[in-house]
């Protein structure tokens, strides 16, 4: 029983890391795309990572949990 829970926790944590990575990269690309022409966005990585680890962490955690359950169901 312990190994199943440990494996599920590890899988969920890894999927959460991937979700945070995708969220951060998407945020940086969106900030670059919508910035005024000829200017580079400043601090976009820090801002996107702050959003991922702040207000959106619950949604990312739930998304990682759903992805883990779906992968187990396969």
**Do 52 and 28 form a contact (C-beta atoms < 8 A)?**
no
Question: What pTM was computed for the model?
Answer: 0.84
pLDDT at 40: 81
CA-to-CA dists, residue 41 to 8, 9, 44, 47, 70, angstroms: 38, 36, 6, 10, 37
pLDDT tens track, the chain, 74 positions: 999 999 999 999 999 999 999 999 999 999 999 998 888 888 899 999 999 999 999 999 999 999 999 988 88
Number of domains into which the chain is organized: 1
Q: Rounded to an integer, what distance in angstroms lies between the CA atom of residue 49 and that of residue 3?
A: 32
Q: Rounded to an integer, what distance in angstroms lies between the CA atom of residue 45 and that of residue 51?
A: 10
User: Residue 33: which domain range?
Assistant: 2-73
């Amino acid at each position: 029983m312990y190994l199943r829970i440990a494996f599920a926790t590890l899988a969920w944590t890894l999927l959460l890391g991937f979700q945070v990575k995708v969220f951060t990269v998407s945020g940086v690309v969106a900030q670059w795309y919508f910035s005024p022409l000829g200017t580079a966005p400043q601090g976009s990585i820090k801002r996107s990572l702050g959003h991922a680890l702040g207000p959106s962490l619950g949604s990312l955690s739930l998304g990682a949990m759903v992805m883990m359950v779906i992968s187990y169901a396969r």
